[in-house]
């Protein structure tokens, strides 16, 4: 039996040794070896009797056991002292702690898209901030400094916004389009178009910011109209801003024509909802040689066409079509849509009845949009709900029309039109996660630059969404960003080496779910397209 220990850099072992003496007796000695050299520690006893020798051997072994325990106690104490010292030393040499988990991920995304071709780091910082912690430009300055150790003053940001508007927007858009084209296998194919409104925290109007119909419900505040083109799967392609009072139906053709001409786009189909459906747009699309799928306003058709629509047998998932020249009107029926139409109408009528009973319905409510169309007024005084109009409206439950000049099968027209939800989601993300509104700028150049930054941020959002899928991380982008906000990087001073090192801490089970996003090797191995 023996014991081995490591103390102050020397390795030694202990054992019981039987030593024959010249007298014929046997000495029992505890011996230690230090770096291979034996040293006597203690003589346990001397005897010529075998039974006594056996007892002495046991005593020697007990001595080693007791000595080893004492050494363990000493070593453990020494360890504790050293651990406390090292912990204190470590803590005293921490230079900074950065909550930069989102930055580390999004910097990789920014680079993958190709935005690092823009020779200006401010764009990256502003786009990352919109996804990490969207706030005013003034608040962003403090956020960048405290979380990412980026020292950029407010005046520099404002100067950059002017530079972005004047010289960088086209390049940003080209980079985004080229990346999207590669993702989609070289062909963009579908152009989804829709508009929204963005309001300002002011009551002052100008040539750009005017009151109009607000999709945000901010009718008393000036706004701009934002038109957005996205591809299949929701990747952003182009944007344009319009005067806040602009009718949305007049926004589509300018942005489509500009996009097609600037980027030499061919073989595509424009998809838009019924709000963009008017004779002027159809005529301009036709004259431009564009293929299109647009939601039809079937209740505004001629009496002849409406009679034909209502005469159709309603079978779930089936389509009928009517052709005039090269333009097809496709009518589809959905039982789920019929159920939804009924539910919405009943809810709207219930609100009307409640308003009627409370005396809140006035003459001004009549003939307005929405479910107020079911109201009638008689003798210029009495307001009532018209049940005949309700019965007439019920006939259209579940019916939906599509106008197209493509030769696509009716079901494919329906499926491509239904892809419009991706642009609705794009607006939800830009208004939610990215917080593009409200706007605090009043200079048109900086308004457009702000929209451009949000465009970059949304493109990064979509690329991160794609990367998560490729990486097998079954979490939403929003969830990943929220987890990343809890991940810190510590910067530690190494005095003897006169340098600083850093470590990103992945500590919790939740953080480990996204740990591969902090590995350089993982990013190198992700399939590009």
Say how far apart CA 106 and CA 236 lie, in whole Å.
17
Q: Per-residue pLDDT averaged across 304-312, rounded?
A: 95
The string of pLDDT tens digits covering residues 33-47 is 766 678 888 899 999
Q: pLDDT tens for residues 45-61?
A: 999 888 898 899 888 88
Q: Please say whether the beta carbons of 178 and 172 come within 8 A.
A: no
pLDDT at 149 over 80: yes
CA separation for the pair 306, 393 (Å, rounded): 12
> What is d(CA 198, CA 213) in angstroms, rounded to the nearest whole number?
11
Q: Which of 204-208, 274-278, 502-506 has the highest mean pLDDT?
A: 502-506
Q: Show the 3-state SS of 263-275.
A: HCCCCCEEEECHH
pLDDT in tens, 209-263: 888 887 777 777 889 889 999 999 999 999 999 988 888 888 899 999 989 888 8
- Separation between Cα atoms, residue 396 and residue 150, nearest integer Å: 58
- pLDDT given for residue 415 in this prediction: 94
Q: Can you give the pLDDT at residue 520?
A: 92
Q: Which two tokens stand for residue 50?
A: 């075998």
**Model confidence pLDDT, tens digit, residues 80-96:** 667 777 788 788 889 99
3-state secondary structure of 321: strand
pLDDT band at 11 (very low <50, low <70, confident <90, very high): very low
> How much is the pLDDT for 388?
86
Lowest mean pLDDT among 144-153, 159-168, 416-425: 144-153
Distance, in Å, from the CA atom of 168 to the CA atom of 452, rounded to the nearest integer, reads 10
Q: Token pair for residue 353?
A: 């009845």
What is the average pLDDT score of the chain?
86
Q: Give, as one character, the DSSP assignment of residue 168.
A: I
70 vs 82: CA distance, rounded Å: 18
Given a contact cutoff of 8 angstroms between Cβ atoms, the answer to whether 505 and 492 are in contact is: no
**What is the share, in percent, of the chain residues with pLDDT greater than 70?**
88
pTM summary value: 0.77
Q: Exposed, middle or buried: residue 283 (CB in 10 Å: 0-12, 13-18, 19+)?
A: exposed
Instruction: Determine the pLDDT at residue 60.
Output: 85
Query: Which of these ranges, 370-374, 426-430, 488-492, has the smallest mean pLDDT?
Result: 370-374
Instruction: List, for residues 108-125, the tens digit of each pLDDT value.
Output: 999 999 999 998 899 999
């Amino acid at each position: 039996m023996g014991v081995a220990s490591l103390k102050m850099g020397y390795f030694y072992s202990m054992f019981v040794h039987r030593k024959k003496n010249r007298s014929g007796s046997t000495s029992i000695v505890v011996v230690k070896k230090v770096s291979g050299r034996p040293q006597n520690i203690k003589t346990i006893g001397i005897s010529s009797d075998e039974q006594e020798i056996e007892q002495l051997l046991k005593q020697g072994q007990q001595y080693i056991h007791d000595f080893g325990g004492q050494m363990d106690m000493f070593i453990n104490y020494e360890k504790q002292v050293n651990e406390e010292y090292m912990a204190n030393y470590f803590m005293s040499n921490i230079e900074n702690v950065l909550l930069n988990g989102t930055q580390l991920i999004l910097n990789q995304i920014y680079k993958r898209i190709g935005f690092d071709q823009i020779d200006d780091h401010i764009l990256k910082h502003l786009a990352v901030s919109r996804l990490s912690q969207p706030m005013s430009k003034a608040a962003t300055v403090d956020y960048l400094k405290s979380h990412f150790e980026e020292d950029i003053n407010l005046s520099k940001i404002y100067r950059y916004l002017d530079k972005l508007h004047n010289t960088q927007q086209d390049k940003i858009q080209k980079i985004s389009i080229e990346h999207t084209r590669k993702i989609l296998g070289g062909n963009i194919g579908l152009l989804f178009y829709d508009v929204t409104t963005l309001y300002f925290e002011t009551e002052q109007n100008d040539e750009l910011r005017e009151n109009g119909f607000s999709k945000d419900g901010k009718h008393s505040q000036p706004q701009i109209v934002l038109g957005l083109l996205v591809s299949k799967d929701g990747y952003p392609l182009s944007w344009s801003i319009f005067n806040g009072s602009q009718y949305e139906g007049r926004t589509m053709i300018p942005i489509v024509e500009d996009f097609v001409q600037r980027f030499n786009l061919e073989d595509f189909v424009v998809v838009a909802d019924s709000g963009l459906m008017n004779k002027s747009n159809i005529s301009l699309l036709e004259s431009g040689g564009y293929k299109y799928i647009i939601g039809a306003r079937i209740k505004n058709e001629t009496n002849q066409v409406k009679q034909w629509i209502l005469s159709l047998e309603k079978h779930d998932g089936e389509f009928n079509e009517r052709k005039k020249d090269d333009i097809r009107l496709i009518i589809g029926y959905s039982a789920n849509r019929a159920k939804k139409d009924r539910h919405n109408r009943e809810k709207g009528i219930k609100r009307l009845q409640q308003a009627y009973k409370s005396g809140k319905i006035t003459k001004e409510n009549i003939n307005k949009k929405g479910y107020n169309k079911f109201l009638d007024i008689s003798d210029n005084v009495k307001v009532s709900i018209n049940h005949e109009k309700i019965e007439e409206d019920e006939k259209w439950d579940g019916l939906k029309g599509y106008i197209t000049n493509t030769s696509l099968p009716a079901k494919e027209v329906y499926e491509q039109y239904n892809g419009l939800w991706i642009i609705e989601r794009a607006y939800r993300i830009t208004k939610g996660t990215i917080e593009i509104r409200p706007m605090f700028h009043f200079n048109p150049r900086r308004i457009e630059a702000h929209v451009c930054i949000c465009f970059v941020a949304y493109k990064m959002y979509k690329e991160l969404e794609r990367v998560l899928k490729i990486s097998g991380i079954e979490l939403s982008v929003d969830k990943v960003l929220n987890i990343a906000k809890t991940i810190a990087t510590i910067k530690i001073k190494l005095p003897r080496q006169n340098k600083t090192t850093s470590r990103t801490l992945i500590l919790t089970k939740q953080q480990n779910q996204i740990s591969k996003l902090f590995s350089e090797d993982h990013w190198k191995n992700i399939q590009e397209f």
